[in-house]
Amino acid sequence: MSRVIEVTFIRHAESDENTKVQALCDIIRQLLSFRLPTVGQLCLALRILEFDLDSKVTMNGKRQLADMKSILDNDKFWDLFDGYDRIVYSPMRRTTDTCFGLLPTQLHDRCVSLEVLRELSPVELVLKYLVRKRNIAFERWLCESTHKRIVVVGHCHYLSELLGMKTFMRNCDVWRSSVTITGSDACRWTAPTLLYRTQLSPPHPIYTLMSILSKKDSDSIDLDEDTPVASASSTNNRNIGDNVTDDLDDDDDDDDTSEPTCRICHVSRPRDALRCFS
């Protein structure tokens, strides 16, 4: 007899490793625009050679956590839980900090660390059969569980592979899917849907690079346009179905003095600002 488990996925807050990747992508983007990167960008990007896969949450990541916690608390998200539910998370530092940073204290005893939820290693990014083995192990755990609703706190690469997503989750994104258990180890996932997104989390930097490389073919590219959205919130209220797949809308003019505008708070921010905090 088949049964359905509702699974909510949360990506970790911004980590040191994320800032290194961002700096590397910024350098490539500037070189493609025939501009030299800054010394600060070069120094930060070179730190990616340290291979610190278990990096900690940055100060901006802590701001993202505070914003998302406010969103979830205001929407009474955690009130849905009962004694059957479980929160599982990757044992890496950034996911552990995200998990316990978002959850109310009374739910901490329902949290369990799962080794299979770790972010993909450089080897696994190449050898996909290793990822499939981990996916099978996680789905087997789901089949053996008796829970009705589960929260998974993980990483963008692993979750994208698990769910077959065409886009990467942003930091602190909250998505939902359901899995139908049809046998002892047979699972069928539904397409994931975006629930909540903080305005402090920009798209994955790879999308900016893809937009520049594809500029020859299209003047306007929205790489997240196929993202299904059920509901979304930030520090301001939004209606169900609002498009939050591109919160920070940059001006398309060639004038470098123009300022990007946040579509949520409708306030311009300096171009050199890291995030919009209005």
CA gap 53, 121 in Å, rounded:
8
CA gap 138, 244 in Å, rounded:
30
Residues 155-209 have pLDDT tens digits of 999 999 999 998 889 999 999 999 998 876 678 899 999 999 999 998 877 766 6
Q: Taking residues 212-228, what's their average pLDDT?
A: 48
CA gap 134, 110 in Å, rounded:
23
Q: How confident is the model at residue 126 (pLDDT cuts 50, 70, 90)?
A: confident
Q: How confident is the model at residue 47 (pLDDT cuts 50, 70, 90)?
A: low
Residues 234-268 have pLDDT tens digits of 444 433 333 333 443 343 444 444 444 333 343 33
CA gap 154, 147 in Å, rounded:
19
| Domains in the chain: boundaries | 3-14+56-196, 247-278
Encoded tokens for 228: 């299904």
Q: Taking residues 50-79, what's their average pLDDT?
A: 88
Query: Is the pLDDT score of 111 beyond 70?
Result: yes
Query: Is the pLDDT score of 277 beyond 50?
Result: no
Higher pLDDT pick, 266 / 136: 136
CA gap 229, 194 in Å, rounded:
5
pLDDT at 268: 34
- Average predicted confidence (pLDDT) for the chain: 75
What is the CATH number assigned to the segment(s) 3-14+56-196? 3.40.50.1240
User: Which bin fits 241, alpha (ψ -120 to 50), beta or left (φ > 0)?
Assistant: left
Measure Cα distances from 201 to 11, 36, 137, 170, 206 in Å. 11, 26, 31, 6, 14
pLDDT at 30: 73
